[in-house]
Amino acid sequence: MSFFSSIYHSIFDIAWLKKQKDKKKEGWSQFLPFIFLIAVLTVLPAFWTFPTTVKNAQKIFETRIPDFSAEIKNGTLFVSRLEQPYLFEETHGEETLKIIVDTQSTSTKPLDEWIDVGKENGFLVVKDRITFYDRDLKQTESRTFADMPDFSFNKESLVRIVDRLSGPVSYFLPLVFAFFYFVVLLVGRLLSIAFVSLLIFLIARLRKEQWTYSSLFTIGLFAATGPLLFDFLLWSFHRPIPLLSTVFFFFLLLAVVFSNKQEGGENVKK
C-alpha cells in the first residue's frame, strides 16, 4: 500500500487500523515521514517570509527606532534616553502591530486601551513585565522579568543582532527551526501515543479483551495521523485547541479496540 493511501485509511478506517496491529515496521515507516512532513509544512512559510522580515527590521531600526538604552536588573526593566510612554506602530496589509513602552509611570493603562482589540496585535512593556495580545488567537499573555538574568542592551546592540541575521543566515535559520520543531513534535506525539495506548490497554484488561500493549502502540503509530493532521489544520487557521487532538486520538484508538469486526469479522474478545 502506498504512503498516501495508508495515510488516508489511518484517518478514519477502523477495520483497516485494527489489521495493522502487528505491522510495526510499516507503522514507523508511516509515522516518521508524516511527522517530518507536518514539521516542514509548518515551518515552510518562514523560508520566504523570514528573509523579508529581517530586511524590514533592518530598515525600521535604521529609520524609525530612536536611540535608547535598557537594563534588566533584579527583575526590573529600566529604559533611558527614550521619551515615554513610547508608541511604535507598524502595519503590513491588514495586520497592525503596536508596541508600547512605559517603564516610568506608576500606573500604566492596560494593553486593551492602547490597541483595537480583535483587530491589532500589541506589546505593552512596563518595568516588571511584558504583555502581548494576539488578534488571531484573541489571547493575552503576560511574562514578568523576575526570572530573567541581569543584562543590558541598546539600539546599537539590537541592530548588530539583526544585521547578523541577514544574508545566508536568514535562509539557514528556518532549516534549524524545522529540525527542532520536528524533534519536539516527534517526542510529543510518541509520549501521547505511549500514554493513550497504556490507558486503552488498562481498559481492555478490565474488560478481558485480548490486546497487548505492543499491538496498541503499533496501531497508535497509524492512528496518530488523523489527530496530527487535525492539529495542523487548526494551527493553519489560527484556531488551536489544546488537548483536543489527544481526546480525538483516545476515542479513535478506543473505537479500534472495542469495535466488533476484526480481519475476518471476528470479535477480539475471547
The pLDDT tens digits for 246-262 are: 999 999 999 998 886 44
Residue 213, sorted as left (phi over 0), alpha (psi -120 to 50) or beta, turns out to be alpha
Residue 194 is placed in which grid cell? 505511549
**Structure confidence by residue, pLDDT tens digits, 73-113:** 999 999 999 999 999 998 877 789 999 999 988 788 889 89
Identify the CA nearest to 42 among candidates 232, 243, 237.
232
User: Which of helix, strand or coil describes residue 89?
Assistant: strand
User: pLDDT of 118-137, one tens digit each?
Assistant: 889 999 999 999 999 998 87
- Sorted by sequence, the CB contacts under 8 Å of residue 227 that are 6+ apart come out as 245, 246, 248, 249, 252
Beta-carbon contacts of 179 under 8 Å, excluding residues fewer than 6 positions away, are none
pTM confidence score: 0.68
Distance between CA atoms of 264 and 171, rounded to whole angstroms? 53
Band (pLDDT 50/70/90 cuts) for residue 266 is: very low
Helix (H, G, I), strand (E, B) or coil at 142: strand
Residues 192 and 200: beta-carbon distance below 8 Å: no
Mean model confidence pLDDT for the chain: 88
In the chain, beta strands by DSSP E: 69-73, 76-80, 86-92, 95-101, 120-125, 129-134, 139-144, 151-154
| Per-residue model confidence as pLDDT tens digits over 53-73 | 888 888 888 888 999 999 999
Q: How many helical (H) and strand (E) elements, i.e. helices and strands, does the chain have?
A: 8, 8
Give one word for 186, left, alpha or beta, with left for phi > 0 and alpha for psi -120 to 50: alpha
Cβ neighbours around 54 below 10 Å, total: 19
Q: Which string of b and e fits 207-232 if b means at least 16 CB within 10 Å?
A: eebebeeebbbbbbbbbbbbbbbbbb
CB 30, CB 221: distance < 8 Å: yes
Q: Which residue has the higher pLDDT, 154 or 240?
A: 154
Residue 264 has pLDDT above 80, yes or no: no
Helix 3-12 × helix 225-236 angle, to 10°: 90
